Amino acid sequence: MRNYKIAAIPADGIGTEVISAGVSVLECLQKKVGDVTFQIEHFDWGSDYYKKNGVMMPENGLEKLKSFDAIYFGAVGAPDVPDHITLWGLRLPICQGFDQYANVRPTKIMAGIQSPLRNAGPGDLDWVIVRENSEGEYSGHGGRAHRGLPEEVGTEVAIFTRAGVTRIMRYAFKLAQSRPRKLLTVVTKSNAQRHGMVMWDEIAAEVATEFPDVSWDKMLVDAMTVRMTLHPKSLDTIVATNLHADILSDLAGALAGSLGVAPTANIDPERRFPSMFEPIHGSAFDITGKGIANPVASFWTAAQMLDHLGEHDASALLMSAVEEVCATGVKTPDVGGRATTREVTDAVIAAIMKR
Ligand code: ATP
Ligand code: MG
């Protein structure tokens, strides 16, 4: 019997609804697979916790999470709590504290989900974007001088380290190697930014020599948006900096049809700490409590979590059930259907059980 300890942190808004849906699907998988158990512990951290305690999570929060095999995360953000508190109080401390330096975002057009790209259907867009998650443009370096004066200067410094770039590059090549097409595109802006970005290109070429069976190419980020839109089939695995991949993965999510289906994994590839799995979407208070949040992103990220735990059969079973349900038209309103979160969840559970 294989036993996994999973920390569930639903947090805010529809996060609670989609994680509860995901937990019932995990329980169903446990029944179906038989020799695996998921020991799921819930943590009530988030904006409500903040309103009662003045912090998003307890001071020893990371200490509490350390012994888990994985973290299953909902969404943070509330209309009456500032973004810097919600984001910097819970999600980012976990990412940084556990050195989850690889942010992995699979995107594909699923049967039954309409892409805004004309004539594009399943098979035409099947990507994984690897986002550097620990440094770069979001490292917080910079400042402002002469504040408010006509000569004011603001700087935002991107910090790239050889160690940081090498480890994300290696992760991306390895991931590309594990996918059928063995194809990697390295994205930079090295024509206009002549230091850190040129270092990215150089390190990509160095790491590439360790993976002779992976074909790879380089793209400038501006040209990349065009290629993603006009030639989606020419891409497979993509690696980019923190900022570039942030933007490209929003574009990817839109091209695949909806934010509600896009998952993400924050991975510590060295497995020193638990990795964290979450939908890309936020807390979406406009639909909170209505029972119509799309749970597909939270199911898909649960499949990412199962893969990370080594439960590849359970992961494949879950994904094929999700794809079948989308294809048969049991969908929430954001993707053009009329089903509720509960109805989609029940349909996925039924699809798993009948397999
Ligand atoms: P954030 O501040 O983190 O961006 P948000 O509350 O603005 O969070 P987003 O995730 O950005 O929400 O989503 C934007 C809109 O897309 C939401 O307001 C909602 O209408 C829709 N949306 C997002 N996720 C889902 C989902 N899972 N199901 C249905 N609709 C969704
Ligand atoms: Mg938003």
Which of 255, 288, 319 marks a domain boundary?
Answer: 255
Query: Whose Cα sits closest to atom 19 in ligand 1?
Result: 284
Q: Other CB atoms closer than 10 Å to residue 30's CB: what's the count? A: 17
CB 101, CB 265: distance < 8 Å: no
CB 40, CB 270: distance < 8 Å: no
Residues 131 and 250 in one domain: yes
- Quickly state the pLDDT bin for 152 (edges 50, 70, 90): very high
Residues 97 and 132 in one domain: no
* C-beta of 286 in contact with ligand 1 (< 6 A): yes
291 Ramachandran zone, left/alpha/beta (phi>0; psi -120 to 50)? left
Residues 158 and 227 in one domain: yes
Percentage above 70 pLDDT, the chain? 100
Q: Tell me how far the alpha carbon of residue 282 lies from the centroid of ligand 2, in angstroms.
A: 6
Residues 225 and 159 in one domain: yes
* Dihedrals phi, psi of 9, to nearest 5 degrees: -125, 90
Q: Which of 88, 91, 281 to mutate to test the pocket of ligand 1 (most atoms within 8 A of CB)?
A: 281
Give the pLDDT confidence score for residue 274 in this predicted structure. 98
Query: Whose Cα sits closest to atom 25 in ligand 1?
Result: 260
Residues 24 and 66 in one domain: yes
Residue 112 lies in a domain: no
From the CA of 75, which ligand is nearest? 1
Kindly report the CATH number assigned to the domain that includes residue 249: 3.40.718.10
Residue 264 lies in a domain: no
- Quick: pLDDT tens for 245-275: 999 999 999 999 888 899 999 999 999 999 9
Give the pLDDT confidence score for residue 64 in this predicted structure. 98
How many domains is the chain partitioned into structurally? Answer: 2
What residues contact 131, with CB distance under 8 A and at least 6 apart?
102, 103, 104, 105, 240, 241, 242, 245, 246, 249
Task: Please give the number of the atom of ligand 1 that sits closest to the Cα of 294.
Answer: 28
Residues 250 and 275 in one domain: no
The stretches of the chain forming alpha helices (DSSP H) are 14-33, 47-53, 61-65, 83-86, 92-97, 162-178, 196-208, 221-230, 242-256, 296-309, 312-327, 341-353
Task: Say what the pTM is.
Answer: 0.94
Residues 216 and 334 in one domain: no
- Quick: pLDDT tens for 195-230: 999 999 999 999 999 999 999 999 999 999 999 999
- Quick: pLDDT tens for 109-151: 999 999 999 889 999 999 999 999 999 998 889 999 999 999 9
Residues 197 and 281 in one domain: no
Residue 121 lies in a domain: no
Give the pLDDT confidence score for residue 216 in this predicted structure. 98
**Mean per-residue pLDDT for 323-334?**
95
Query: DSSP assignment of 20-40, as one string?
Result: HHHHHHHHHHHHHH-SEEEEE
Residue 108 lies in a domain: no
Residues 284 and 233 in one domain: no
Give the pLDDT confidence score for residue 258 in this predicted structure. 83
Q: Which of 94, 15, 70, 92 is nearest to 48 (CA)?
A: 15
Residues 158 and 222 in one domain: yes
Tokens 């097409």 label which residue?
A: 181
Residue 115 lies in a domain: no
- Quickly state the pLDDT bin for 354 (edges 50, 70, 90): very high
Residue 8 lies in a domain: yes
Strand 2-11 and strand 36-42: pairing?
Answer: parallel
Residue 2 lies in a domain: yes
Instruction: Give the tokens for residue 319.
Output: 């994904």
* C-beta of 334 in contact with ligand 1 (< 6 A): yes
- Quick: pLDDT tens for 74-92: 999 999 999 989 988 999 9
Which of 220, 255, 290 marks a domain boundary?
Answer: 255
Residues 130 and 251 in one domain: yes
Residues 139 and 71 in one domain: no
Residue 67 lies in a domain: yes
- Quickly state the pLDDT bin for 42 (edges 50, 70, 90): very high
- Counting other chains too, the contacts that 210-214 makes at CB distance below 8 Å and 24 or more residues apart are 210/170, 210/173, 211/173, 211/174, 211/176, 211/177, 213/177, 213/182, 214/173, 214/176, 214/177, 214/182, 214/183, 214/184
Give the pLDDT confidence score for residue 87 in this predicted structure. 86
- Quick: pLDDT tens for 51-73: 999 999 999 999 999 999 999 99
From the CA of 259, which ligand is nearest? 1
From the CA of 301, which ligand is nearest? 1
- Quick: pLDDT tens for 295-317: 999 999 999 999 999 999 999 99
Boundaries of domain holding 33: 1-101+270-355
- The interface predicted TM-score (ipTM) is 0.94
Give the pLDDT confidence score for residue 226 in this predicted structure. 97
DSSP state for residue 325 in the 8-state scheme: H
Give the pLDDT confidence score for residue 351 in this predicted structure. 98
Which of 188, 220, 255 marks a domain boundary?
Answer: 255
CA 106 – CA 282 distance, rounded (Å): 17
CA 272 – CA 67 distance, rounded (Å): 10
3-state SS class at 292: coil
Give the pLDDT confidence score for residue 259 in this predicted structure. 83
Give the pLDDT confidence score for residue 303 in this predicted structure. 98
